[in-house]
Structure formats: structure tokens, C-alpha cells
Structure 1
């Protein structure tokens, strides 16, 4: 497969010159320009695919968008049960434990939703990739938009929970949606790498989903970071997701990010992973089409 590299204009006619591996040869700056331009030029296609998936998700569905609320509520019920029987000891919290769990699982759910969406962007659309020529970045953008809609629905559930428990969020809660952006970037970044690798290793998405599920237990999602076990505490503080999840939750509960330095490092890590993954995803697009 070959790809366009430049435009020439002989005698008033526009022609496209094709060259293999042109994306690798673009250079650092031109490659980033092409990446951003590819997204901007595909806005209409992103919207069309977004509506397509929305209709597909709601068609022949028992609860439709209500699953966005049912799923986390079922998960919260299980954690509350473990807490009540004494299996789970979450530590002290400034808010009722059900609200603490809902907030933590909502934040974690944002990360997992965008990861899952980005990771399946290529394999789930293999037929479309084989029959149409377009930038594969469109698939990731459309999947992220779909996951972001679910995030908005979860924010409504959070607002209802705060009202039910009579807890007033800090004014810094206004920045809560912004604090989710690093989690979005990290989830999309990891997902894009996995989506490319899954073309070669078909069960890569399942492997990473399982590993991230295990990683949740080393992230203070359902418990506070002040655990008694020193080994577990070291693992928790080495985990960048600890700061991203904790920072977002702190803005809602206390109004002050507990570890600002750790949060800044974790945000920088998330941005770096996203930019590197995006570039790899863009450059490997030709190889992906050949392997499908």
C-alpha cells in the first residue's frame, strides 16, 4: 500500500504523488502537523461514526443509556458488601463510604472506558479499514467521544449522589472535569499502543485489560492511600494512577490536591505516553492495513 506525500501542479491540474513509507520520512515537525491536520480534516467522518455507534448501542437494548448508571451501581454494591462484612478496610474518609467508592470508581471508569475504546478501535473496525481509505486516527477520536459521553452521564450520577448524602463539594469541583483529562490521555495512549499490537497478537487487548484490572487494586480507588502494609504502600505511591485518581478526587472532597509534586509528575507522564503513542499509531497506519 502506498500513501500521498506531496501535491504538484502541472498545467493547472492538481495531482497527488504517492510514495511508500512517506509518514516515516516526514520528519518530526511535519509529522505532527500531518497528525493534527488528519483529525481536523476528518471532523464530519468522526461525527458520522459517533452517531452510528450511538444508534447501534441503543438499538435492541433493554436499558439503553441507563446501563451507564446501572453498571457502576452494581459495582458499588459489591464493594459496600465487602466493607460491611469486614473483608475490605478502606480507611478513614471525609465523606460517606458509598460516595467515596462512587467517586473513585467513576474516575477509574473514565480511564478504563477510554482505554477499552482506543484499544478496540482498529480490530472492531477492520472491515471499514479494508474497504475505505481514511486516517485511522478517526476511529480513536470517535471511540473517545463515545466514552466521553458516558463520562458526562456518570457526572450526573455523581451530582445526584452528593445531593443524596448531603455533601457539598468544594468550589474546586469546577476543575474536576479538567482533572480527568490526564486520565483520558493516559488511557487513550495505552489503548492506541495496544490497538496496534493487537493486530499482531490478537489477545493483547484481553491481556492488558486483565493487567489493568489487577492494577486497580494497587490504586486507591476503593480505599484511601494510607494503608498499613508498607510494601503495598510503596507500590501505591509508585503508581502514577494513584496521583491522577487521588488528585481528581481531592478536588471534589477536600479542595486541595494532597501531593502536588506527585500529581504534576503523573500528569507529565500521561502527556508523554499519549504523545508517543499517538505518533507510533500514526506512523504504523500503513503496516496495520497490511496486517489486517
Structure 2
């Protein structure tokens, strides 16, 4: 239904009322999603620049905080390995290289998982007052994840040079599994937004989950095929993405591409579904925030 409003000095204004959920009009919903995605680019860039400037301007150590988590995690595993508490054998590279590479790749997944909920919580006041393309917040968050990963990647390159480790030419394909880790974390983070904005328990649950999941993922040691740990690693969606990235750097083409392709494909599908849920749920969440 359309209602036209006009006065002597203004052009007619058309207000559109669309009864019912937009999920009943998928073509219209997809067109609006695509239009808002294109319209959000400039705003996403401005939000990204603002957030990065604010994040590092008010810290004493600046960009060091970007590399601090993988350094600390790697140092713990290196200490365990050197004291024979964690005995890792059969590696083709020094263990510090192996564990640092694993933790840097792991961190892109963890950052992508936590960022969607974080950017929405930070923008609650803005969302309640300003009508804007909501995709801009997620895109700016992805930009923050990539910026942080870029700093960690420089550290990784420096360590490879120090240890004089040669990489395989297949390293040029590493962005593909890294993109998979980024999309997987973003997909899970977006799906958690509707409940995470309303209940702060999700933040604490994510911290606990990621702290434990790192030991159930071949981050600091090669995957095992036996026992309960091996079964958990097999069903862990992060495992094929992480292993593929490692193997492309060190060994050439990965041996098991099928799990990687399956996880990557399912991630893309569910990310699109998460985008739809995000679009439909966020207006309701904003209404509850403003009430």
C-alpha cells in the first residue's frame, strides 16, 4: 500500500507499507540486501578507519597488542614441548615455526568469530538513532580482523626468515583456506548476534569455548587419528581449513581436499542464511534496545 503526502512547498513523499515479513517476498529481500551491501562500502570504510584509530591510539604498546595473543599462546606450547610435557615429533620445520603459524591462522578464526557481536554491541546507540545499512558494521568488523591478521602475518614472515625456512610455491593458494577461516568465524558470529545482543552470557561462553577448542584443533600439533581426540578433530570444521593452510605453506598441495571443499561450501551457504537472519532479526533487536 502506498500513501502520498504533499504540501504546497514540498514534492510528494511516498511511504511504503509492506505488511508481513519480508521472508515472504524473497526476491525483494535479496534485492534490498544487495543494494544495502553496495551502499554500505563507504560507511564501512569510515567505521573501519575510526575503529582502528581509536583502538591503537589510546594504548601504550600500540600494534603490539595485535601480536600479543599468538605470541603468548605459542610461548606456552613451546615451553610444554621443550619440557617434554608435550612431545611433538616428525615435523619438517622447527616447532616454534609450526606452532606460531598455527596460532596465527587460528587467531583469524577466533577474531572473526568474536567481531560481529562486538561491533553490534559497540554500535547499539547508533543503531537506535540512525537508519543505516546494517551490513556496514559487519564489513567494518571484517576489515578490523584482516588488519589485525596483517600485523600477525608480518611477524610470521619475520620468524620464517630468522629460521631460514623455505616455503612451498603452493603458498600462493594460502589465502583460500584463510578466507575459509575468516568466513567460518564470521558465519558463526553473525548467527549468534540475535541472542548475543540480548544476553551477555554469549560473550563469556565464546571466551570459554575458544579457549578450550584450541586444544581440540591441530593448532600446535599434527592431527591425531585415534581415540576420542581424533574423532573430535575429524568433526571439527576448523580442522580441514587450518590443515589446508599449513600444508600449502610447508608440504605442497593438501592430501585431503574433500573435507576442505565440504566445509568451505557449507560455510558459504550458512553465511548467506546468517545474513538473512541478521537482516530480519536486527530491526526487532533495535526496537528492544530503544525501548
Correspondent of 2:120 among 119, 122, 128: 122
Q: Number of aligned pairs? A: 286
Deviation at 1:212, TM superposition (A): 2.6
Partner in structure 2 of residue 264 of structure 1: 261
- Kindly provide the CA deviation profile for residues 35-62 of structure 1, in whole angstroms up to 9, marking residues without a partner as x: 1221211222111111110111122211
Could you tell me how far apart the structure 2 residues matched to 1:6 and 1:35 are? Answer: 22
Could you tell me how far apart the structure 2 residues matched to 1:210 and 1:277 are? Answer: 23
Deviation at 1:240, TM superposition (A): 1.6
Correspondent of 1:172 among 170, 173, 186: 170
Q: Check conservation: 1:193, 1:280, Cα contact below 8 A.
A: yes
Partner in structure 1 of residue 51 of structure 2: 53
Deviation at 1:13, TM superposition (A): 4.3
Partner in structure 2 of residue 240 of structure 1: 237
Deviation at 1:211, TM superposition (A): 1.5
Deviation at 1:78, TM superposition (A): 1.3
Partner in structure 2 of residue 152 of structure 1: 150
Correspondent of 2:139 among 138, 141, 145: 141
Could you tell me how far apart the structure 2 residues matched to 1:190 and 1:240 are? Answer: 11
TM-score by length of 2: 0.91
Q: Check conservation: 2:22, 2:28, Cα contact below 8 A.
A: no
TM-score by length of 1: 0.90
Partner in structure 2 of residue 275 of structure 1: 272
Deviation at 1:87, TM superposition (A): 1.6
Q: Check conservation: 1:46, 1:138, Cα contact below 8 A.
A: yes
Deviation at 1:256, TM superposition (A): 1.5
Partner in structure 2 of residue 66 of structure 1: 64
SS class of match (2:16) = strand
Give runs of ≥4 in structure 1 deviating > 6 Å.
Answer: 5-12
Is 2:16 aligned against 1:17? Answer: yes
Could you tell me how far apart the structure 1 residues matched to 2:29 and 2:192 are? Answer: 21
Partner in structure 2 of residue 82 of structure 1: 80
Could you tell me how far apart the structure 2 residues matched to 1:239 and 1:71 are? Answer: 22
Deviation at 1:6, TM superposition (A): 8.4
Q: Check conservation: 1:183, 1:270, Cα contact below 8 A.
A: no
Q: Check conservation: 2:40, 2:136, Cα contact below 8 A.
A: yes
SS class of match (1:15) = strand
Aligned pairs (5 A) from 1:217-228: 217-226=215-224
Specify every segment of 5 or more residues in structure 2 that has no aligned partner in the other structure, as ranges.
none
Partner in structure 2 of residue 34 of structure 1: 32
Deviation at 1:208, TM superposition (A): 2.6
Is 2:288 aligned against 1:285? Answer: no
Could you tell me how far apart the structure 1 residues matched to 2:139 and 2:253 are? Answer: 32
The root-mean-square deviation of aligned C-alpha atoms, in Å, is 2.3
Deviation at 1:148, TM superposition (A): 0.7
Specify every segment of 5 or more residues in structure 1 that has no aligned partner in the other structure, as ranges.
none
Judged with a 3 Å threshold, the aligned counterparts in structure 2 of structure 1 residues 7 and 242 are, in CA distance, closer, same or farther, namely farther
SS class of match (2:63) = helix
Is 2:96 aligned against 1:98? Answer: yes
Deviation at 1:104, TM superposition (A): 0.5
- Kindly provide the CA deviation profile for residues 95-146 of structure 1, in whole angstroms up to 9, marking residues without a partner as x: 1110000110011100011111112222221111112111222111111111
